[in-house]
Amino acid sequence: LLSQFDPDNTGYISTEKFRSLLQRHGSELDPHKLEVLLALADSNSEGRICYQDFVNLMSNKRSNSFRQAILQGNRRLCSKALLEETGLSLPQRLIRHVAYETLPREIDRKWYYDSYTCCPPPWFMITITIVAFFLYNGVVLDRFVLQVTHPLYLKNALLYHPQLRAQAWRYLTYIFMHAGIEHLGLNVVLQLLVGVPLEMVHGAARISFVYVAGVVAGSLAVSVADMTAPVVGSSGGVYALVSAHLANIVMNWSGMKCQFKLLRMAVALICTVWLRFHPSPSPPCPHPSFMAHLGGVMVGITLGVIILRNYEQRLQDQTLWWIFLSIYVIFVMFAIFWNIFAYSLLDLKLPPPP
């Protein structure tokens, strides 16, 4: 194909030859993909198209140069908006809904709608919700997560406790325990309603990275700023996803077509404040720490928002990605050294170990 349309081996295809190729094989393509290809041809002012961009496009990969080629110039998407299409099946309507919930540009929504195959499914968020919260705590520990008044509630190897901070796994496994039905219910609802659509669009690797980074930042923030507090709950990871999604909505306010934008932001703020000042459950259950929420939020609006803003682009090409990643690594290293030395130097009175 390259030798046919690029005999001089320049790496480019002329717009005329590109259009003739589309006319010949356009019926074989998804309608939205054909529309994107035509927009690529219309937006190019030099009369040629990079062959590698064309190959990436056909293989469902898009680079920065491709995105710039699409966004530059006065391109026109002639067909109706995806939201106006009728006669769709229930799965198709679900995919369309997810596209409008998470993506700010119509061209991205159409591309995602045509490309999404549900293979693999959003397994990470579903697994971490069902297995971690219910199966593990109910079967392995032989006491369900809601039994917070049980005298053995804190006597497990999962939650974070300042006296046991040398057991490094606790900085992550504390997400498997929750402080009552309200705490568990809110995290599960947010995790499924926000996390699953985000994973459907951005993939398990990116979303799991944001989630785990928020979890670790939450426990480390508590160990630095609220040194005597034990920690339970997955709020660090949940709020990393929620804050990244809300920040993405704010930064792309005019393009985002998700419903009730102001309402969902208000609800998220109310939930954060409520969890901070809600009366603690019966002892010995620890109160959910506000610092864990704050650590997750900071991860969401730094690392998370970069991931969500750059749909199908390589993160390592983004300068901000490296800046925020460096800040996160520096914070983690600082918190590690703080945990090693600060507790003994400050001579704090810590609560007894469970």
Query: Is residue 48 located within the same domain as residue 155?
Result: no
pLDDT (0 to 100) of residue 212 = 95
Q: Which residues are catalytic?
A: 235, 293
Residue 216 lies in a domain: yes
Q: Which domain holds residue 19?
A: 1-61
pLDDT(272) > 90? no
End of a domain among 61, 83, 111? 61
Provide the number of structural domains found in the chain.
Answer: 2
CATH, residue 304: 1.20.1540.10
Q: How many CB atoms lie within 10 A of CB 289?
A: 28
Residue 96 lies in a domain: no
Question: Who wins on pLDDT, 45 or 251?
Answer: 251
Query: Is residue 208 located within the same domain as residue 332?
Result: yes
Query: For the chain, what is the mean pLDDT?
Result: 76
Residue 328 lies in a domain: yes
pLDDT(287) > 60? no
pLDDT (0 to 100) of residue 74 = 40
Query: Is residue 182 located within the same domain as residue 255?
Result: yes
Report, as an integer, the average pLDDT of 110-128.
85
Query: Is residue 166 located within the same domain as residue 283?
Result: yes
C-alpha to C-alpha distance for 280 and 294, rounded to whole angstroms = 19
Residue 336 lies in a domain: yes
pLDDT (0 to 100) of residue 72 = 44
User: Roughly how many angstroms between the first and final C-alpha of the chain, as a whole number?
Assistant: 69
Query: Is residue 288 located within the same domain as residue 149?
Result: yes
Q: Which tokens sit at 269?
A: 């703020």
Is 43 in contact with 70 (CB distance < 8 Å)? yes
Query: Is residue 54 located within the same domain as residue 127?
Result: no
Residue 298 lies in a domain: yes
| pLDDT tens-digit readout, 201-238 | 888 999 999 999 999 999 999 999 888 888 888 888 99
End of a domain among 61, 79, 97? 61
End of a domain among 61, 84, 99? 61
Helix, strand, coil percentages in the chain from 3-state DSSP, rounded to 5: 65, 0, 35
pLDDT(167) > 80? yes
Is 214 in contact with 237 (CB distance < 8 Å)? yes
Residue 44 lies in a domain: yes
CATH, residue 12: 1.10.238.10
C-alpha to C-alpha distance for 160 and 44, rounded to whole angstroms = 56
pLDDT (0 to 100) of residue 329 = 95
Task: Single out the residue of 6, 192, 200 nearest to residue 95, CA to CA.
Answer: 200
* The residue type at 142: D
C-alpha to C-alpha distance for 37 and 49, rounded to whole angstroms = 11
| pLDDT tens-digit readout, 291-337 | 888 899 999 999 888 888 766 555 555 788 888 999 999 999 999 99
Residue 113 lies in a domain: no
Residue 104 lies in a domain: no
pLDDT band at 162 (very low <50, low <70, confident <90, very high): confident
Query: Is residue 36 located within the same domain as residue 129?
Result: no
Contacts of 205 (CB under 8 A, 6+ apart): none
Query: Is residue 216 located within the same domain as residue 326?
Result: yes
Query: Is residue 317 located within the same domain as residue 218?
Result: yes
Query: Is residue 35 located within the same domain as residue 183?
Result: no
Q: Three-state DSSP class for 61?
A: coil
Query: Is residue 52 located within the same domain as residue 175?
Result: no
Query: Is residue 24 located within the same domain as residue 152?
Result: no
Helix (H) / strand (E) element for 13: namely strand 12-14
pTM strictly above 0.95: no
Chain centre distance of CA 169: 23
